[in-house]
Chain A
């Protein structure tokens, strides 16, 4: 029963990881100041996933650990993706799948106009961006 079997992460590795994590934090702030359009979200998520992977693999030592723990974590992560994806299959496509009404185009246009009159004033959605 030797505890020498436990992996001891060298301090040098820990320092390298924390430096990388700090650098990635600065990077995610810097990229968010740029206007990347739709890529904003993707870049921020990619950086956050990289940081999370570094913490899980080195700080939580999953990389060196008994593989069964990696399986537990992997299955957990998989179900988060299932949860998110299957919820979005519903919420992101509401109205797209069932818009096969029997009404004429004229009727649908009238209904759409009636709906638009209940929309908030677009001017109300103009935010004060003076501090950007």
Chain B
């Protein structure tokens, strides 16, 4: 292990030690995550207000969202959180192969999540459930007559659905970009047990994206 006198390459001059630099970065990330939580909480509050006002509409509309696909995506995102945590474990024990493998797996799970979301969105758009003025449910699918769902405040439910899952999906997309970058750096051998801060911070971001979905799934699909 390098001593402070040797000054490791990753250590920026304004930090006393690698540990201080690591802790500062991590606390900065937690502060950023709080702003993310507050961003999403605005939407969760909107959901709650409308649900309290129109419980029967929200209860009825959840039937239109397929809990099997939502549940599958929940398992996929949980699995990706697990692979990130494993990746960090391997980075901490200097296992480069384990780190790279788990980062690639995380990226692939994120792809699966967005592919499933694509099929869910297109099935809804096909039946006239869209964001904005074009909202006009029609057609029959799996024994469900979409026209019977064209009731007051149905549009509000689906606006909330599209905006919340859309912004969440955008975060998944950003996460994929981050993991592509981190994977390439890991392959080049940039990370060791002495320095793996970017892996740790991307991991924290990814877990938060997972937590948002943990709440979105039951609120939109189940209850």
A, B: real partners:
yes
A69 and B26 contact, CB distance less than 8 A: yes
Chain A residue numbers with a CB within 8 Å of B18 are 1, 3
Closest residue of B by beta carbon distance from A21: B78
Residues 5-60 of B contacting A (Cβ, < 8 Å) = 17-19, 22-23, 26-27, 30-31, 33-34, 37-38, 41-42, 44-45, 48-49, 52-53, 56-57, 60
Q: B63-92 toward A: CB 8 Å interface, digit per residue (1/0)?
A: 100010001001100110110111001001
| Chain B nearest Cβ from A12, distance in angstroms | 11
Residue of B nearest to A45 (CB): B218
A9 proximity list for chain B (CB < 8 A): 85, 89
**In the docked arrangement, what's the CA distance between A48 and B214, Å?**
6
Candidates A40, A52, A83; contact of B211 at CB < 8 Å: A52
- Identify which of residues 78-101 in chain A touch chain B, using a CB-to-CB cut-off of 8 Å: 79-80, 83-84, 87-88, 91-92
Question: Within 8 Å CB of A114, what residues of B?
Answer: none
> Do B30 and A69 have beta carbons less than 8 Å apart?
yes
Residue among B22, B26, B78, B193 facing the most chain A CB atoms (10 A cut-off): B78
Contact between A83 and B1 (Cβ–Cβ < 8 Å)? no
Query: Which chain B residues lie closer than 8 Å to A51 at the CB level?
Result: 211, 214
- A84 adjacent to B44 (CB under 8 Å): yes
What 0/1 pattern do residues 204 to 217 of B give for CB contact below 8 A with A?
10011011001101
Shortest CB distance B74–A (Å): 5
Number of B interface residues in the complex (CB < 8 A)? 66
Q: Is the CB of B48 within 8 A of A88?
A: yes
Contact between A60 and B207, CB atoms less than 8 A apart: yes
Q: Using A18-B79, A44-B222, A91-B52 as known contacts, say yes or no to A125 and B37 having CB atoms under 8 A apart.
A: no
* Pair B89/A11 contact, Cβ less than 8 Å: yes
Closest chain B CB from A72 CB (angstroms)? 5
Tell me the bound Cα distance from A47 to B89 in angstroms: 27
Residues of A within 8 A of B162 (CB): none
B interface majority secondary structure = helix
Docked CA distance A79–B31 (Å): 13
Chain B positions within 8 Å of A, measured between CB atoms, are 1-4, 17-19, 22-23, 26-27, 30-31, 33-34, 37-38, 41-42, 44-45, 48-49, 52-53, 56-57, 60, 63, 67, 71, 74-75, 78-79, 81-82, 84-86, 89, 92-93, 142-145, 148-149, 151-152, 193-194, 203-204, 207-208, 210-211, 214-215, 217-219, 222-223
Q: Can you name 23 A-B residue pairings with CB atoms under 8 Å? A: A3-B193, A11-B89, A18-B78, A18-B79, A21-B82, A32-B223, A44-B222, A48-B215, A48-B217, A51-B211, A52-B211, A55-B214, A60-B203, A60-B207, A80-B38, A83-B38, A88-B49, A92-B52, A125-B57, A125-B151, A130-B143, A130-B144, A131-B142
Residues of A within 8 A of B (CB): 1-3, 5-6, 8-11, 14, 17-18, 21-22, 25, 28-29, 32, 40-41, 44-45, 47-48, 51-52, 55-56, 58-60, 65-66, 68-69, 72-73, 75-77, 79-80, 83-84, 87-88, 91-92, 120, 124-132
